[in-house]
Structure 1
Amino acid sequence: MSSSLEKPIGYEWRSSRWFIVSTISIALFAETFLYGFLVPILGYIFESRLGIEPAQRQRLTSVVLAMHGVCSAISGPVIGHFVDQLPNRKSPLLLSLLGCIVGTAIVACSRSLSLFLLGRCLQGVAGSFVWIVGLATVAETTSQDRVGTVMGLVNSFAHTGIMSGPIVSGLLLETAGYWATWSIPVVILTIDIIARLLMIEKFDDPKPNCASERTDASETTGLLTSPENQQGTPTTLGFWRTMLSNGRVFTALLVSLSIVSLSTGFDTTLPLHVDEAFGWGTGTTGFLFFCLSVPSILISPLAGWLRDRIGIRAPTTVGFVIQAILMAILGIAGNSHFSWASAEAGPAIYMTSIVAIGIVQPFVLGVANIELTAVLKEKQEENPESFGPGGGFSRIFSMAEVASTLGLILGPILSGSLTEVFGYTYMSWTWSVICIILAVLACRFLGSKS
């Protein structure tokens, strides 16, 4: 046997499903960790390193955080299109890592605002790469009957990064100093580098004459495929039209945009409301956000397992109905017009509702990733060549990435504007109505195992 056919050292475990999923989970953890890591130290960077005036800090903080989402939303479809043309996804993963490292280095070392914003743009584009390519790799590696469980595990890692990033940076900046604080991202990125270099995805599987086999297969397919099927292979524009005209896809993307908008809307409205209504300070506010986030880490794998057993329709529908009730109650708690919920009972009702929302959210989060994977695999079963050699996975996850990043941008704007104009109660009730609408759409369009 020639040396060209010998498998690399450790091939079995390096190409195994568990190692590929673990590598992508580490990558997503690193991306979300770096996003949250910057939040507590932005004030210090503005003041001590960039020399920003205090009056401009709040505005620039919003710009910096929004820039990540804007860069991701713009670059997502472009990334998805080109990655689907490549023979494997390991190179884009390594490229995204390079962009993440360079962007993080620029952010950490910047002494000018323009250079700092450039670093944030690189981080945003690299983050979009990670989500699109990473989830596409997981989807192709995982069998359809386990997609929910695996995506739930991956989402747990991502949520852990979002939670731990601000905690680590805030603690280290006070106790160890600025440069020591950045040592943690260096360690995480180093682990990420090692995992990505070790990973062997199925495209790298060393098979004899694999290149010629693919060529022969494509030539044979071209000869044997009917003109109708050839004409039915969508162009780039046709791919987007085919997917967005599918009721399951459109509903899944709308669900993703809405639930991310609702989640990020809490960042804008919750701190001010609990201060005005209950006199709660930053400590209690932080605990409330803790209650919103921790259940997603713990319950996401369970929610994914349930989706694999009974389909995504029932858990999502029931989840939105319960969330609608909780959002309605959340708006009542602390409102003086409801005497039973404004005095001693108000704080308890509010905190209980927040905990319950945190428990329910894993059943409505991540809908797009699972449903879009299912739709695409069904299309591939009908016609394996329908979306080209890349299979369309990167493009389909770029759609999910755009939906979620739009939610990051629209959520604070919508919730903040509704609260400012109509008050916190009517803002919560508006989201309650939106949840009911989403429950109806989920029941009507999303997939089911029955």
Structure 2
Amino acid sequence: MHTSTRGALFSLSLSMLLASLGTSIANVGLPSLVLAFDASFQAVQWVVLAYLLAITAVIVSAGRLGDRLGRRRLLLAGLLLFALACGLCAMAPSLHWLIAARVLQGLGAAIMMAMTLGMVGDTVSKERTGRVMGLLGTLSAVGTAMGPSVGGVLLSLWSWRALFLLGAPLGLLAAALAYRYLPNEPGARAAVPLWSALASPGLRAGLGMSALVSAVMMATFVVGPFYLSRGLGLAPAWMGLVMAVGPCVAAVTGVPAGHLTDRLGSPPMTLLGLAIMAVGALALALAGGLLAYLGALVLLTSGYSLFQAANNTAVMRDVEGPRRGTVSGLLNLSRNIGLIFGASALGAVFAWATPDIIRATPQSVAFGLHTTFAVAVGLILLAGALRHKH
């Protein structure tokens, strides 16, 4: 691989890693923020929510702006904004300041996420698109999974300010690499109407499938801790280890999934990924005991890695240059909508099936898990129907 291509991929990879790390690194600092600002838990939760809401609100607009002004130019602006916002977070004198700075950080992260996927087609050939999509999917999972552990180390070495300061030098490094290695583009272009980008049935199917399977994956993070702690009686440390299995599997399987997509094509790999996910979700709907839960989780996450690499490749590979940022923004938005839907709707299914969670018996919590993932199997089958219909 040429040095400039390697440098470009490193800048895109670091951009994706930083944006994902930002979603989870602050969570571990919430107790410290309660003490530092003498605030309620509900108030400091906005430090996490502000970032996620900012990304969700502007990611499609960021993609469209990149198509109009130039994706390289906008990615540089996003990285610099992210680095500046990290510095503002680290020096925050009040909670309101910190939340406002996290909104800015989320705006920078939205640009980084949209431009990173959007620039794959500008950086590598179509034949290598799948493996790069797999790599970026891996780094997204690794960034989210690393957040609590990296944050814990920083918190023990210094204070909550280190959680945010880390992003400043890394954001500047990514900006320097992007400036040096990413290809230049033509100047301003006419904006592509959003409705025309959504005119393709294949794109609509890809976005719908992305939202549905993201909802299923979110259920493992929402329902999983209750089952592991109250259903199986695991101590917090062991529960944390089991919860880390999913992101670790995603990290290991992402790049091989991309290679398979490049070799065998997106359509069969999308369906295979959904089939493996369906088997994993069905196993969770029937799971009894820790080993069965772990085996089902490994299956579900492996299937998701394969689906994500294949679906992202199918969506992005044939998009013309002037629309890549917009479509990338839509793809990220569909994933975020799926995560929100999974947390709320599938969380509600679990709450309905386990009415009194505080005094629930292990059997009652297990029933809640089984009911939630029985519904999740239905969502995966619906995603398969969308693929088949297309």
Instruction: After superposition, give the CA deviation of every residue in 1:114-167 in whole Å (9 maximum; x if it has no partner).
Output: 222211211111111001112211122222121101111222222222222221
TM-score (norm 2): 0.88
- What is the letter of the counterpart of residue 370 of structure 1? T
1:354 paired residue number:
297
Q: CA deviation at 1:104?
A: 1.6
2:83 paired residue number:
101
Task: Describe how 1:41-52 pairs up with structure 2 within 5 A.
Answer: 41-48=29-36, 50-52=37-39
1:254 paired residue number:
208
Unaligned runs of at least 5 residues, structure 1: 1-11, 205-210, 219-233, 334-340, 378-389, 446-450
Q: Is 1:429 aligned with 2:374?
A: yes
Q: CA deviation at 1:61?
A: 5.5
| Distance verdict in 2 for CA 1:23–1:313, change over 3 Å | same
Q: CA deviation at 1:440?
A: 2.8
Q: Is 1:110 aligned with 2:53?
A: no
Q: CA deviation at 1:293?
A: 0.7
Q: Distance in 2 between matches of 1:355 and 1:269?
A: 16
Q: Distance in 1 between matches of 2:223 and 2:44?
A: 16
Task: Describe how 1:59-208 pairs up with structure 2 within 5 A.
Answer: 59-60=42-43, 63-86=46-69, 88-180=70-162, 182=164, 184-203=166-185
- What is the letter of the counterpart of residue 80 of structure 1? G
Residue range with higher mean Cα deviation, 182-191 or 30-39: 182-191
Instruction: After superposition, give the CA deviation of every residue in 1:167-224 in whole Å (9 maximum; x if it has no partner).
Output: 11112212444445555334423422331232241438xxxxxx9xx9xxx9xxxxxx
Unaligned runs of at least 5 residues, structure 2: 354-367
1:20 paired residue number:
8
Q: Distance in 1 between matches of 2:376 and 2:53?
A: 24
Contact 1:368/1:400, CA 8 A, preserved across alignment: no
Identity of aligned residues (%): 18
Contact 1:89/1:137, CA 8 A, preserved across alignment: yes
2:217 paired residue number:
263
Contact 1:253/1:399, CA 8 A, preserved across alignment: yes
Q: Distance in 1 between matches of 2:141 and 2:30?
A: 21
Contact 1:30/1:161, CA 8 A, preserved across alignment: yes
| Distance verdict in 2 for CA 1:244–1:360, change over 3 Å | same
Q: Distance in 1 between matches of 2:38 and 2:351?
A: 31
1:373 paired residue number:
316
1:384 paired residue number:
none
- What is the letter of the counterpart of residue 201 of structure 2? G
Q: Is 1:319 aligned with 2:290?
A: no
1:287 paired residue number:
241
Q: Distance in 2 between matches of 1:348 and 1:81?
A: 46
1:386 paired residue number:
none
| Distance verdict in 2 for CA 1:82–1:268, change over 3 Å | same
Q: Distance in 2 between matches of 1:427 and 1:60?
A: 30
Q: Distance in 2 between matches of 1:421 and 1:62?
A: 25
Contact 2:214/2:338, CA 8 A, preserved across alignment: yes
Partner residue of 2:347 out of 385, 401, 416: 416
Q: Distance in 2 between matches of 1:156 and 1:39?
A: 21
| Distance verdict in 2 for CA 1:329–1:66, change over 3 Å | same
Instruction: Give the number of the structure whose alpha-carbon radius of gyration is greater.
Output: 1
- What is the letter of the counterpart of residue 316 of structure 1? T
Instruction: After superposition, give the CA deviation of every residue in 1:231-288 in whole Å (9 maximum; x if it has no partner).
Output: xxx9743xx3333232211111012112222222222211112112110122222122
Instruction: After superposition, give the CA deviation of every residue in 1:332-353 in whole Å (9 maximum; x if it has no partner).
Output: 22xxxxxxx4xxxx22211221
Q: Distance in 2 between matches of 1:34 and 1:171?
A: 15
Q: Distance in 2 between matches of 1:193 and 1:235?
A: 25
| Distance verdict in 2 for CA 1:103–1:370, change over 3 Å | same
| Distance verdict in 2 for CA 1:368–1:124, change over 3 Å | farther
Task: Describe how 1:208-357 pairs up with structure 2 within 5 A.
Answer: 236-237=192-193, 240-333=194-287, 341=288, 346-357=289-300
TM-score (norm 1): 0.77
Q: Distance in 1 between matches of 2:191 and 2:164?
A: 45
| Distance verdict in 2 for CA 1:70–1:34, change over 3 Å | closer
Q: CA deviation at 1:360?
A: 2.3
